[in-house]
Chain A
């Protein structure tokens, strides 16, 4: 059983005292920094990367990976506690997670996120170990046209995300798509919608948008309504999910792990869709979908598991091909290169102890995260008891520093303020930000893939029909959108008849 031999090699490497310590330090530091509002995984890794320069390559990678998971989980923590998702994947967690926090169930939310992530991480690690390499070859079949299909499919999911009216959700998605076009055009280099501001020529930064529209707007909302704020925090309540709640989450976590693992392998940031897909699926499958958006525990368990599964499997293209699927992995590539270990297809054969050691330490990292974070939950929940009039200034300060540190550019802070205003206006007008964020993320990818596909087919739209995977995905996308829109349409027609 070659797999067992490889895993044994991996665990020996990963369990060496140095590497274990590095993993622990990485997870801890990553979590603590990731928890700071405004500081997402990319900023965290970029900040902490120099720390890893003093260690050997394997150790450095293990530490970096620990920082990555820690930052991811820290980002989920801020999403739940203060509605500030530091990363795309935490946006979905914020929807129900923060609602749960407002109902005094922050501990439960954090707990289920930690447990779900651990389960997903374990499964994903096994997937990587067993079928990682062959899976990459499959993933390579995904060209721009197929990607476009997947993104359109994702758009259909966006509509399901909304709590309220479908029309408003669609409006927000389209707004997000429009925002995604701001910046320099990929093919011609022309500035689009940049208002002549040089700092916008690379487009709107996701963290800036998310911080503003979710986090800052939340602060503004809380300042206005002191009564509706964290009333139930007075009693901390249970810190961990009850058995009943765990039972309810089991199936969602399972489904989410599958979804997240598959999407994470797609080179090119397919992992982004994982949490959204899981949320949409759970909402559709739930007996009472109206719970979603008001603190449904499945709405945290599913996306968090998908999130973590995707984060793990997104290492696959990096380790087997040497091609980073997203910005975080690109940083890892940089870190590896600085250590003289340039990632490529031969890493698995030339540096087996590194490859398998990384995989083994992924699981260990997940375990460490659980061990570190479960006790921390009590700390975070107690933090919520600090009077808001003191807290919000601190959150604001951290947010400002975090946003500034992304690119050392004060304009990012100004833009965050602008989006904070926009978020406030959205709240007042009953428009939800989550579909907009998904539209934004998908929009960038979608347009890029669409234009690449068209460029490669010399302008022929037939390419989407001729390529089977793309055609299937587009058909699925159409189906999803119909399913999402039809009930709303028939409901409003019913209402019309009733009136």
Chain B
């Protein structure tokens, strides 16, 4: 019985209602319906309410018909998204030359298919290519290695 509850649309409806509630709460101070008809809060609050209602409908409908519960993986998302975060954190202080390989290394953890040596070599080659392309050919103002070169 409990397993049947957590079906896809049930979770979906729940998630949507949560988002709607969060949005409404964030917009709570904004005046809605000021002089002239609309204020900054009209649309956020109105849409949040509409979203909540629709989410509830989805939730209720899930009891009638829905796909089964989805299976989630942690490893993939964790390391892929982590790689992006690592890049963002590293790019300004450490530069592209470091952030690139770091990000690739972090991403490499996300899949069991990855073979380390080839990935790291490939990663270094790709970073070098990116440096050549973005920094030198295109002149992008992306930091290269501030700790080493100053820019």
Q: How far is A49 from B57 in the complex, measured between Cα atoms in Å?
A: 50
Chain A 60-87: CB-based contact to B (< 8 A → 1; otherwise 0): 0000000000000000000000000000
**Are B50 and A429 neighbours in the complex by a CB distance under 8 Å?**
no
Q: Which of B8, B43, B84, B113 has the most CB of A within 10 A?
A: B84
Q: Which of A174, A405, A413, A451 contacts B38 (CB 8 A)?
A: A451
Nearest Cβ in chain A — how far from B8, in angstroms? 5
**Are B142 and A408 neighbours in the complex by a CB distance under 8 Å?**
yes
**Interface: B2 (CB within 8 A):** no
Residues of A within 8 A of B82 (CB): 417
Interface-facing stretch out of A137-145, A272-280, A315-323, A394-402: A394-402
**Are B54 and A174 neighbours in the complex by a CB distance under 8 Å?**
yes
**Are B77 and A424 neighbours in the complex by a CB distance under 8 Å?**
yes
Q: A175-B51, A392-B80, A413-B88 are in contact. List 18 more A-B contacts (CB 8 A).
A: A47-B139, A48-B138, A167-B54, A171-B51, A171-B55, A178-B48, A185-B30, A190-B40, A192-B40, A193-B23, A390-B122, A393-B119, A397-B123, A398-B130, A401-B134, A417-B84, A429-B11, A430-B9
**Interface: A404 (CB within 8 A):** yes
Q: How far is A458 from B36 in the complex, measured between Cα atoms in Å?
A: 6
Nearest Cβ in chain B — how far from A406, in angstroms? 11
Nearest Cβ in chain A — how far from B96, in angstroms? 7
Give the 4 A-B residue pairs with the shortest CB-CB distance, closest first. Answer: A413-B88, A410-B88, A185-B40, A459-B36
**Interface: B5 (CB within 8 A):** no
**Interface: B72 (CB within 8 A):** yes
**Interface: A205 (CB within 8 A):** no
Nearest B residue to A396 via CB reads B107
Chain A 417-450: CB-based contact to B (< 8 A → 1; otherwise 0): 1101100110011110000000000000001001
**Are A417 and B108 neighbours in the complex by a CB distance under 8 Å?**
no
Nearest Cβ in chain A — how far from B33, in angstroms? 11
Nearest B residue to A196 via CB reads B26
Known contacts A417-B84, A425-B15; is-contact A171 B58 (Cβ 8 Å): yes
**Are A429 and B96 neighbours in the complex by a CB distance under 8 Å?**
no
Known contacts A431-B12, A455-B36; is-contact A220 B80 (Cβ 8 Å): yes
> Which residue numbers of A lie inside 8 Å of B, CB to CB?
33, 47-48, 50, 167-168, 170-171, 174-175, 177-178, 181, 185, 187-188, 190, 192-193, 195, 216, 219-220, 223-224, 226, 388-390, 392-394, 396-401, 404-405, 408, 410-414, 416-418, 420-421, 424-425, 428-431, 447, 450-451, 454-455, 458-459, 461
Known contacts A178-B48, A393-B123, A413-B85; is-contact A193 B26 (Cβ 8 Å): yes
Nearest B residue to A391 via CB reads B122
Q: Which of A48, A389, A397, A417 contacts B127 (CB 8 A)?
A: A397
**Are B91 and A223 neighbours in the complex by a CB distance under 8 Å?**
no
> Which residue numbers of B lie inside 8 Å of A, CB to CB?
8-9, 11-12, 15-16, 19-20, 23, 26-27, 30, 35-41, 43-44, 47-48, 50-51, 54-55, 57-58, 61, 67, 70, 72-73, 76-77, 80-85, 87-89, 91-92, 96, 99-100, 103-104, 107-108, 110-111, 113-115, 118-119, 122-123, 126-127, 130, 134, 138-142
Nearest B residue to A461 via CB reads B37
**Are B51 and A421 neighbours in the complex by a CB distance under 8 Å?**
no
12 contacts between A and B (CB under 8 A): A47-B140, A192-B30, A193-B44, A223-B111, A224-B76, A390-B122, A392-B107, A401-B142, A416-B84, A417-B82, A430-B12, A451-B38
Q: Tell me the dominant secondary structure on chain B's binding face.
A: helix
Q: How many A-B residue pairs have CB under 8 A?
A: 185
Residues of B within 8 A of A394 (CB): 104, 122, 126
Q: How far is A399 from B99 in the complex, measured between Cα atoms in Å?
A: 13
Nearest A residue to B41 via CB reads A192
Known contacts A192-B30, A450-B38; is-contact A393 B76 (Cβ 8 Å): no
Q: How far is A461 from B82 in the complex, measured between Cα atoms in Å?
A: 48
Nearest Cβ in chain B — how far from A185, in angstroms? 4
Nearest B residue to A425 via CB reads B15
**Are B96 and A401 neighbours in the complex by a CB distance under 8 Å?**
yes
**Are A420 and B38 neighbours in the complex by a CB distance under 8 Å?**
no
**Are A177 and B47 neighbours in the complex by a CB distance under 8 Å?**
yes
**Are A178 and B51 neighbours in the complex by a CB distance under 8 Å?**
yes
Q: Which of B20, B23, B80 contacts A216 (CB 8 A)?
A: B80
Q: How far is A474 from B36 in the complex, measured between Cα atoms in Å?
A: 21
Residues of A within 8 A of B26 (CB): 193, 195
**Are B51 and A174 neighbours in the complex by a CB distance under 8 Å?**
yes
Q: How far is A96 from B77 in the complex, measured between Cα atoms in Å?
A: 25
Q: Which of A411, A413, A450 has the most CB of B within 10 A?
A: A413
**Are A410 and B89 neighbours in the complex by a CB distance under 8 Å?**
yes
Nearest A residue to B71 via CB reads A428
**Are B80 and A223 neighbours in the complex by a CB distance under 8 Å?**
yes
Residues of B within 8 A of A187 (CB): 40
**Are A430 and B84 neighbours in the complex by a CB distance under 8 Å?**
no
**Are B36 and A421 neighbours in the complex by a CB distance under 8 Å?**
no
Nearest Cβ in chain A — how far from B136, in angstroms? 13
Residues of A within 8 A of B118 (CB): 390
Q: How far is A157 from B74 in the complex, measured between Cα atoms in Å?
A: 36
Residues of A within 8 A of B44 (CB): 178, 181, 192-193
Q: Which of A405, A414, A418, A429 has the most CB of B within 10 A?
A: A429
Q: How far is A216 from B103 in the complex, measured between Cα atoms in Å?
A: 14
**Are A429 and B111 neighbours in the complex by a CB distance under 8 Å?**
no
Residues of A within 8 A of B73 (CB): 224
Q: Which of B119, B130, B138, B139 has the most CB of A within 10 A?
A: B138
Nearest Cβ in chain B — how far from A132, in angstroms? 33
**Are B85 and A397 neighbours in the complex by a CB distance under 8 Å?**
no
Residues of B within 8 A of A177 (CB): 43, 47
**Are A413 and B40 neighbours in the complex by a CB distance under 8 Å?**
no
Q: How far is A177 from B23 in the complex, measured between Cα atoms in Å?
A: 12
Q: How far is A429 from B58 in the complex, measured between Cα atoms in Å?
A: 11
